[in-house]
Each structure stands twice: as structure tokens, then as C-alpha cells.
């Protein structure tokens, strides 16, 4: 038979509540050390009960955020997904990507700009060449997060109002492609070459276009197309 005069044993929840109330009072009185000691001691013995009760006090604690970290410990896991903003072909685009996503994958798979081709995935063939802030880069070697808040130009962005750009027209006029797979990267790289002022002589064009491989061997016609555009600009 239970003696009704026997005091009931406080539950874990009740003990946690008592400690938290004492800690909150200590904090209000400016005694942060005592508040921390009370919560730390309770954490060691009743961690889940402490967390449950702290959530009841969340509106009061969140404003000061001193004790709230006991209920919501800071995660030590690194972020894996990022929201990035790209200005692609003069249009602002927002996309969420995994930290490991390459710019090439973001352009092709997320933004559906498939003009930029996937070749070697090693930065050796140049098929994936795009312009980042006016400079040539291999999109297969650049992480998408590296392009955050930067301006990207792909082959789709060179022409305006449905018209081909001068370099595109010159490639057609000089028959500077055969199978056409490397052509987008060749054209973007050629435009970047002129922006970088590296199209002085045929030798300099060959040297500075050497990162773009044409397996069909249309190099002579490619150089002729670039020389024509350079000549029009001078």
C-alpha cells in the first residue's frame, strides 16, 4: 500500500524544468556563469529532457540566444548544397547545386544550355570552353560555386536577336568545322582570344588556340576564320 503522505519523486522532465527556470532566472540577473553551469549539469544527466523543456522556452530564449545553443547545437557537418546566382548570357539565373557540381554540369543539366559540349572531362580538349567575366575557362574543370555572381557566356549567348555573331559567320564562310562537335568551344575560345588581344599573328593564334582540339583537323580553316574577324575589327 502506497503512503499518500510520501512525496512524489520529480520526473526527469520536472527536474529539467526546475534547472532551466533557475538558469533563466540566473541569466536575467546577469549571472551567465551560473546559468551555464546549471544547463551543463542538466545536459550530462537529462539531455533529452533538457532539450524538450528548452523548446518550450524557445520564444524567450531565442531573443537572447545565450542558452538556446543547448537545445540546438551547432552542426559540425559541412554544407553540401549551395544556392548560387549566375548571369548566363546576360540573364540572371538562380540554381541550387551540390558543392561538387561542375560549371559544365550546371549549364547542361540544370540550365539546359547544351551548346557547351562535354569532351574529355579533363580540361584537355576545349569542347566545354565558356567565357567567365570575359576570360576563357574550361567549364569541366570549374566548380559551379566558383561562378557565383559571375558573368558566363556560352555559345548560345554570342548571337543577338537571332543573328549569328561575326565569328560564327566566319566559321561558316571558311568551312572551319567538319563533324561540328568541337565547334562551339572553338568559336567561344576564338572570341575570347580576340578579347584577350592575343590574335596578333597566325603563330600566336595557333599557340593560344592550342587548348581547343579539332579531331577532324580543320585547323587551317579555323585560323582563316579568326584572321578574317580580326581583320574586320582593325
The CATH number of residue 98's host domain is 3.10.20.30
Is there a single domain that holds both residue 89 and residue 148? yes
Q: Which of 169, 172, 173, 213 is CA-nearest to residue 189?
A: 213
Q: And the C-alpha cell for 38?
A: 546549471
Among the candidates 138, 157, 176, a domain finishes at: 157
Contact residues for 231 (Cβ-Cβ < 8 A; gap 6+) = none
Q: What is the pLDDT of residues 140-175, one digit of tens each?
A: 999 999 999 999 999 999 999 889 999 999 999 999
Between 124 and 21, residue with greater pLDDT: 124
Contact residues for 111 (Cβ-Cβ < 8 A; gap 6+) = 86, 88, 93, 95
How many independent structural domains does the chain possess?
3
Between 16 and 66, residue with greater pLDDT: 16
Torsion of Cα atoms, 134 then 186 then 89 then 120, to 10°: -100
Looking only at the bridges linking them, the beta strands covering 81-88 and 151-153 are: parallel
Between 42 and 131, residue with greater pLDDT: 131
Answer for the pair 217, 182: CB distance below 8 angstroms, yes or no: no
Is there a single domain that holds both residue 32 and residue 90? no
Greatest Cα pair distance in the chain: 107
pLDDT for residue 22: 80
pLDDT for residue 64: 46
pLDDT for residue 154: 98
Q: Is 176 a residue whose pLDDT tops 50?
A: yes
Is there a single domain that holds both residue 120 and residue 176? no
Answer for the pair 192, 135: CB distance below 8 angstroms, yes or no: yes
pLDDT for residue 30: 73
The answer as to whether 131 is a domain residue is: yes
Burial class (CB in 10 A: 0-12, 13-18, 19+), 39: buried
Is there a single domain that holds both residue 85 and residue 148? yes
Q: What is the CATH number of the domain that holds 173?
A: 1.10.150.120
Is there a single domain that holds both residue 130 and residue 66? no
The percentage of residues in the chain with a pLDDT greater than 90, rounded to a whole number, is 61
Report the alpha-carbon distance of residue 46 to residue 56 in Å, rounded: 16
The answer as to whether 7 is a domain residue is: no
The pTM for the full model equals: 0.67
Among the candidates 102, 130, 157, a domain finishes at: 157
Burial class (CB in 10 A: 0-12, 13-18, 19+), 151: middle
Q: In the predicted model, what is the mean pLDDT of the chain? A: 84
At 28, the pLDDT band (50, 70, 90 cuts) reads confident
Q: Identify the bridge partners of residue 94 per DSSP, sorted by sequence position.
A: 85
Structural domain of 223: 166-233
Is there a single domain that holds both residue 189 and residue 220? yes
Report the alpha-carbon distance of residue 207 to residue 209 in Å, rounded: 6
The answer as to whether 76 is a domain residue is: no
Distance of CA 38 to CAs 29, 62, 192, Å? 14, 18, 64
Q: Which of 155, 201, 204, 193 is CA-nearest to residue 177?
A: 155
The answer as to whether 88 is a domain residue is: yes
The answer as to whether 62 is a domain residue is: yes
The answer as to whether 5 is a domain residue is: no
The answer as to whether 3 is a domain residue is: no
Q: Is 53 a residue whose pLDDT tops 80?
A: no
The answer as to whether 173 is a domain residue is: yes
At 74, the pLDDT band (50, 70, 90 cuts) reads very low
Among the candidates 108, 140, 157, a domain finishes at: 157
Contact residues for 107 (Cβ-Cβ < 8 A; gap 6+) = 88, 113, 116, 130, 139, 152, 154
pLDDT for residue 25: 77
Amino acid at each position: 500500500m502506497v503512503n499518500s503522505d510520501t512525496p512524489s519523486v520529480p520526473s526527469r522532465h520536472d527536474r529539467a524544468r526546475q534547472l532551466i527556470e533557475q538558469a533563466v532566472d540566473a541569466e536575467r540577473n546577469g549571472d551567465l556563469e551560473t546559468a551555464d553551469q546549471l544547463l551543463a549539469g542538466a545536459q550530462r544527466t537529462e539531455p533529452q529532457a533538457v532539450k524538450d523543456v528548452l523548446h518550450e522556452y524557445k520564444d524567450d530564449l531565442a531573443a537572447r540566444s545565450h542558452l538556446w545553443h543547448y537545445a540546438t547545437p551547432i552542426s559540425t557537418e559541412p554544407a553540401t548544397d549551395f544556392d548560387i546566382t549566375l548571369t548566363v548570357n546576360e540573364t540572371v539565373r538562380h540554381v541550387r547545386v551540390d558543392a561538387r557540381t561542375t560549371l559544365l554540369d550546371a549549364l547542361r543539366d540544370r540550365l539546359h544550355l547544351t551548346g557547351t559540349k562535354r569532351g574529355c572531362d579533363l580540361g584537355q580538349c576545349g569542347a566545354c570552353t565558356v567565357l567567365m567575366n570575359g576570360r576563357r575557362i574550361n567549364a569541366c574543370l570549374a566548380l559551379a560555386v566558383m561562378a557565383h555572381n559571375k558573368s558566363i557566356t556560352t555559345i548560345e549567348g554570342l548571337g543577338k536577336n537571332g543573328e549569328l555573331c561575326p565569328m560564327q559567320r566566319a566559321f561558316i564562310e571558311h568551312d572551319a568545322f567538319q563533324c561540328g562537335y568541337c565547334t562551339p568551344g572553338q568559336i567561344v575560345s576564338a572570341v575570347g582570344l580576340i578579347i584577350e588581344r592575343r590574335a596578333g599573328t597566325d603563330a600566336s593564334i595557333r599557340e593560344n588556340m592550342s587548348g581547343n582540339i579539332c579531331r577532324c583537323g580543320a585547323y587551317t580553316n579555323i585560323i582563316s576564320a579568326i584572321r578574317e574577324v580580326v581583320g574586320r575589327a582593325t
